[in-house]
Amino acid sequence: MRVCRFRFELAELEFVVASHRVVMAKKRAKKVRVAFRKNREKRPRSQNFTRDAQEESAVDQQGAGERITGKGQLTRYRTIISTDDDPAGVQRRIDEESCVAARVIRAVGANRCDVLTDPGVSYSCTVRRVLRTMARDARNAVVAGDRVMVLPTTENEGVIERIEPRQRVLSRGSGRFEHIIAANIDQLAIVTSAASPPLKPGLIDRFLVSAARGGVRPIICINKSDLAEPRQLRAIHELYTNLGYEVIETVAVNEVGIEELRGQLIGKETVFAGQSGVGKSSLLNAVQPGLGLRTSRVSDDSGKGRHTTRLTEMIPIDRGGWVIDTPGVRQMSLWDVSPEEIEAYFIEFPPYVADCHFPDCTHTHETGCRVKAAVAEGHISPLRYESYLRMFHND
């Protein structure tokens, strides 16, 4: 009797465990409704002009706030199968056994990219349409540095089936969308020139805010340092060094400061960003001899750099690590940073914010503002405060 009872209890336990596994398996796959971008496909042209005229007449006779139109192709939501570990519900569940993990090393437009797997196999890939049409704040579905799952279709080609969640990104605003310059990076080399084009502390500060928001360590690289007046350059150098930022002065053509810059790149993934013409590609050519990136001179007419680099590309360096060359930017609009949050990204502000007379002080016009007093007393740089005002007012 005891043996039969033990066998019965064991069978019951096995059934419970099996049932639990089934429930867990079911939980791992969930259906979610996902918003998609607007369908740009045009409606078929109607050939029944009489019916169209009658419908237009009917619309004119109705109230101005009424519409008579079917959803048709304008439906914005679809159902996809999401992974269980994705709280946002936008990571598609795929057959991972048929895919390989890879890293995007070059993005070409919105539909094509080159990827590299861990064993070193490269694929030229297209992006699955469902990924491109899902509503995202990002301007491009895939960017350099993304970790993706690729379904190989031929020996050297494949389709990107899924984009893994991004960590540590550098981005900026581009109209209504977020322009992610690079993803899953460690450092940002903010490249500026001491002259030709002129140095812009305000642009440096915008890059610093974007780096802090994305969780990326910034390095300020002042190239063409031989073209600047030494006193002015020393003031800028000390300003950011005293705030705790790494500042390196370089001259790419003479390899001044290149060894110091190279030492900061070893074992890290670093994106080089800045204006056109500041010498990003020239610096990378100096850091990695034989790289052969295209360079060009600053325009004599406008004094601005020419867009020479067209793609964002990850490049391995000999002593370990990766660098990412990017096209030059003319503007660096902040993304997803409200005016009230900007003060937190100016690391010299917080010690004074608590002493402001008003708890919701914006440090722009209020009386009793301790930040403004610190600027007047010389504790906060007027250049930095001017940058803050421009960002706050979105100038």
Q: Check whether residue 124 and residue 151 sit in a common domain.
A: yes
Element (H, E) at 39: none
What's the average model confidence in pLDDT over 203-214? 97
Please check the confidence at residue 143 and state whether its pLDDT lies above 50: yes
10-19, 28-37, 333-342 — most confident range: 333-342
Name the pLDDT band for 87 (thresholds 50, 70, 90): very low
Tell which residue, 279, 225, 271, has the closest CA to residue 248.
Answer: 225
Q: Check whether residue 187 and residue 310 sit in a common domain.
A: yes
DSSP β-bridge partners for residue 274:
191
Question: What residues make up the domain containing 149?
Answer: 96-163
Name the pLDDT band for 36 (thresholds 50, 70, 90): low
Q: Check whether residue 292 and residue 212 sit in a common domain.
A: yes
Quick one: pLDDT at residue 395?
A: 83
Question: Is residue 377 one of the residues assigned to a domain?
Answer: yes
Tell me what percent of the residues of the chain surpass a pLDDT of 90.
Answer: 56
Question: Is residue 362 one of the residues assigned to a domain?
Answer: yes
Question: Is residue 16 one of the residues assigned to a domain?
Answer: no
**Which of these three, 303, 325, 347, is where a domain ends?**
325
Cα–Cα distance, 277 to 131 (Å, whole number): 34
Q: Kindly report, residue by residue over 244-294, the tens digit of the pLDDT.
A: 999 999 999 898 999 999 999 999 999 999 998 899 999 999 999 888 787
Q: Check whether residue 260 and residue 367 sit in a common domain.
A: no
Question: Is residue 357 one of the residues assigned to a domain?
Answer: yes
Quick one: pLDDT at residue 163?
A: 92
Quick one: pLDDT at residue 202?
A: 95
Quick one: pLDDT at residue 74?
A: 47
Please check the confidence at residue 11 and state whether its pLDDT lies above 70: no
Q: How many CB atoms lie within 10 A of CB 270?
A: 25
CA distances from 330 to 172, 222, 278 (A): 12, 17, 12
Q: Check whether residue 189 and residue 261 sit in a common domain.
A: yes
Q: Check whether residue 359 and residue 309 sit in a common domain.
A: no
Mean pLDDT of the chain: 81
The residues, any chain, with a CB within 8 Å of residue 141's CB and separated by 6 or more, are: 110, 127, 131, 132, 134, 163
Quick one: pLDDT at residue 150?
A: 96
Question: Is residue 114 one of the residues assigned to a domain?
Answer: yes
Q: Check whether residue 190 and residue 317 sit in a common domain.
A: yes
Quick one: pLDDT at residue 81?
A: 53
Question: Is residue 4 one of the residues assigned to a domain?
Answer: no
Please check the confidence at residue 15 and state whether its pLDDT lies above 50: no
Q: Kindly report, residue by residue over 104-116, the tens digit of the pLDDT.
A: 999 887 788 999 9
Q: Check whether residue 311 and residue 353 sit in a common domain.
A: no
Tell which residue, 104, 30, 383, has the closest CA to residue 238.
Answer: 383
Look at 363 and 326; give whichever has higher pLDDT: 363
Quick one: pLDDT at residue 117?
A: 93
**Do 343 and 333 form a contact (C-beta atoms < 8 A)?**
no
Q: Check whether residue 194 and residue 147 sit in a common domain.
A: no
- Would you give the end-to-end CA distance of the chain in angstroms? 86
Tell me what percent of the residues of the chain surpass a pLDDT of 70.
Answer: 71
CA distances from 364 to 115, 302, 351 (A): 47, 33, 17
Q: How many CB atoms lie within 10 A of CB 212?
A: 17
The residues, any chain, with a CB within 8 Å of residue 143's CB and separated by 6 or more, are: 104, 107, 180, 181, 182, 183, 312
Cα–Cα distance, 395 to 266 (Å, whole number): 37
What's the average model confidence in pLDDT over 157-182? 91
**Which of these three, 325, 353, 384, is where a domain ends?**
325
Please check the confidence at residue 374 and state whether its pLDDT lies above 80: yes
**Which of these three, 115, 133, 163, is where a domain ends?**
163
What is the CATH classification number for the domain harbouring 189? 3.40.50.300
Quick one: pLDDT at residue 291?
A: 85
What's the average model confidence in pLDDT over 90-118? 87
CA distances from 51 to 45, 136, 319 (A): 13, 38, 72
The bridge status of strand 157-163 relative to strand 147-152 is antiparallel
What is the CATH classification number for the domain harbouring 356? 1.10.40.50
Quick one: pLDDT at residue 89?
A: 41
The bridge status of strand 170-174 relative to strand 177-182 is antiparallel
Q: Kindly report, residue by residue over 42-65, the tens digit of the pLDDT.
A: 555 555 656 666 655 554 554 444
Question: Is residue 52 one of the residues assigned to a domain?
Answer: no
Q: Check whether residue 247 and residue 367 sit in a common domain.
A: no
Please check the confidence at residue 29 and state whether its pLDDT lies above 50: yes
Number of domains in the chain: 3
Q: Check whether residue 220 and residue 286 sit in a common domain.
A: yes
Q: How many CB atoms lie within 10 A of CB 127?
A: 22
What's the average model confidence in pLDDT over 188-193? 96
What is the CATH classification number for the domain harbouring 138? 2.40.50.140
Report residue 218 as tokens.
């910034």
Q: Check whether residue 219 and residue 287 sit in a common domain.
A: yes
Question: Is residue 320 one of the residues assigned to a domain?
Answer: yes
Quick one: pLDDT at residue 175?
A: 82
DSSP reduced 3-state for 201: helix
Quick one: pLDDT at residue 129?
A: 84
What's the average model confidence in pLDDT over 191-210? 95
Please check the confidence at residue 125 and state whether its pLDDT lies above 80: yes
What's the average model confidence in pLDDT over 4-33? 45
**Do 185 and 197 form a contact (C-beta atoms < 8 A)?**
no
Quick one: pLDDT at residue 331?
A: 84
pTM over 0.85: no
Q: How many CA within 13 A on the CB side of residue 353? A: 15
